[in-house]
A and B are shown apart, each in its own frame.
Chain A
């Protein structure tokens, strides 16, 4: 019987020369090899080194988009000092909310490696149904109208899902048909229910989504509660990991992270609480900011802490592997398509709230491209398997910043489109280069 020769080229051999099972079981090592960046008491410096290594591997996360956002803000502020005024920044947040929420809708299917081109007009459908039901002659309560509107959008999303999953049609074509068909639905509903191609929104709650504000005091209370919750949950998770003998980031890193989130939240509330009215007092955090934050927290939680979220990433990464692991591909994909539709509907209601009406010239085609752009600029991949809900938030802010900043400078829409195109290309290029770095190592 041939004894197992130890090849000279083998990396460190274990259990055979010198290392005992006790060595292998020692904490902080994996099979006897010390792992510097993963020892429970790893230092601040070691953590940063590990982080730098991850970035070189192409897992740059939100760094490029945050850097890009800062550059854009500096450029626009230098060109026009109104840009960083409280009034304009608050306006920018409200402007961006539609792009952000549409981007979030798109992320659900992008993770799967699918796309939903209909989400712009689906948003229109949601807005129209909500506006019709909440206005005369129906005058239903606002929440009934919103539920009906978003439910219709979720149903359309689910319908695309069924066609893609059951008939194995490409989502690009199914939702392209959806784009055309839903544009027709919007035109039909507006022409049969509106006057002059427009349905006005009269319900005050619906109008207040983007036009109403929390009182300054309420804004601070919400901010403090959010910061405390974030701090407690983050630190508790680290402690739990340490107790379990697992690697946790050093306390300093955790505190820096908490301090950063706290500073950003405080800055947001400070800006929004500044009086931005000219004739009347206008201050406070717009409700829509709170709504977007709520979607961000809920969706991030669903993606990172539930089995459903895990399966979406697995399906997007390698559907066959997921299937062999026993994951139901059909149901999980169906839910993702449904959530895309639902979230698109919510975005449509915000869109209509901001305009005070919904008309037959809503450009759902451009909206969906902005939605995809927001997700991709933020860092989501069109090839599936990669995307977080924070990405469209940042990407949507980039788009809103360009839109808003160029508007302030009095530049024509032609320039806005061209600059947005350049930013989108830059985002995709950074992503591609980062990935190349990963595969070549």
Chain B
């Protein structure tokens, strides 16, 4: 698999010609009387990096957990490649090709990189672990993603840096042929150079045709990798559109006030009747 560097040159909002990989239509989620999501519409395009931003409590985590199958929406519809789907469990999300890289990464420090990448999906030959096959596949995947800084795939994950751990978690998703990778605050705990590593990795996912839904507080990161931006405010999607329609100042304003002065002209935003 070769890396195509031209993607960005052609990247423009003319994505409407293509079918979205995942579409959210009027997604609502109530916890008792609390409305965490109040009707969210969002399209995630294959090979594109969609950033989801919003202040604390805006409903970002609720939204990704709905997509990841942790819980079901109270109302609304999920369309996977245009077909309506229900995702009732993380396993069903996994089967569709949705992988979530959580903040805590879910890696075992006492296992090495190969063992972590195959955890729960080990390759067996004659009922025994086939280490050779697993190590080869892991190496290929990391190499494809140009994960460069690990010296050996037999290193314990506990000895890796935060950026390298992110890379292993992402590589695991890619290896399992995820088509949509949800990343929850992937750079939150990282230093400058490691953040750069992870952002590079996110771009490469896009290059490989994998859609990325990026949840981040860091607008610098968002503006450096994302193709599109969606802003959640108190459970509503108040603004969304191509990243080029926004600048940092405008994004901050929408995040903090919910003022949809953004590219509402794109028709993505839905206002909902007051309840």
Contacts and interface: CB of A to CB of B under 8 A. Distances in A.
Nearest to B195: A7
A327 B142 contact: no
B112 to A, nearest CB: 10
A30 B143 contact: yes
A14 B207 CA distance: 14
B274 interface: no
B119 A327 contact: yes
Contacts of A240: 132
A-B residue pairs, 9 tightest by C-beta: A325-B120, A317-B108, A385-B110, A317-B110, A10-B196, A326-B120, A31-B148, A325-B119, A321-B106
Contact of B224 (A2, A14, A16, A314): A2
Majority-rule SS of A interface residues: loop
Contacts of B104: 320
Contacts of A307: 122, 124, 129
Contacts of B122: 307, 310
8 contacts: A24-B143, A31-B147, A57-B159, A240-B132, A246-B139, A313-B115, A321-B105, A385-B108
Interface in B125-170: 127-129, 132-133, 135-136, 139, 142-154, 156, 158-159
B5 A37 contact: no
A21 interface: yes
B170 to A, nearest CB: 14
Given A13-B200, A322-B120, 16 more contacts: A1-B227, A3-B8, A9-B192, A30-B153, A31-B143, A31-B146, A31-B147, A57-B159, A59-B156, A246-B135, A306-B128, A310-B122, A321-B105, A327-B119, A385-B108, A386-B110
B12 A1 contact: yes
A16 B200 CA distance: 10
A244 B152 CA distance: 16
A70 B195 CA distance: 48
Contacts, number: 153
A52 B147 CA distance: 25
Interface residues of B, number: 63
A57 B112 CA distance: 13
Interface in A12-32: 12-16, 21, 24-25, 30-32
A141 B236 CA distance: 76
B32 to A, nearest CB: 26
Contact of A314 (B105, B111, B135): B111
A307 B120 CA distance: 9
B2 interface: yes
A257 interface: no
A438 interface: yes
Interface string A314-351: 10111011101111000000000000000000000000
B90 interface: yes
A74 interface: no
The listed residue with most B CB atoms (<10 A of its CB), out of A7, A25, A240, A321, is: A321
A4 B227 CA distance: 11
A246 B132 contact: yes
A38 interface: yes
A1 B11 contact: yes
B152 A37 contact: yes
B193 interface: yes
B253 interface: no
B3 interface: yes
A76 to B, nearest CB: 35
Contact of B243 (A1, A31, A35): A1
A166 interface: no
B107 A318 contact: yes
B223 interface: yes
Contact of A321 (B5, B108, B204): B108
A15 B203 CA distance: 12
Given A4-B8, A21-B3, A30-B150, A9 B139 contact: no
A22 B273 CA distance: 56
A200 to B, nearest CB: 44
Contact of A7 (B116, B151, B196, B223): B196
Nearest to A439: B158
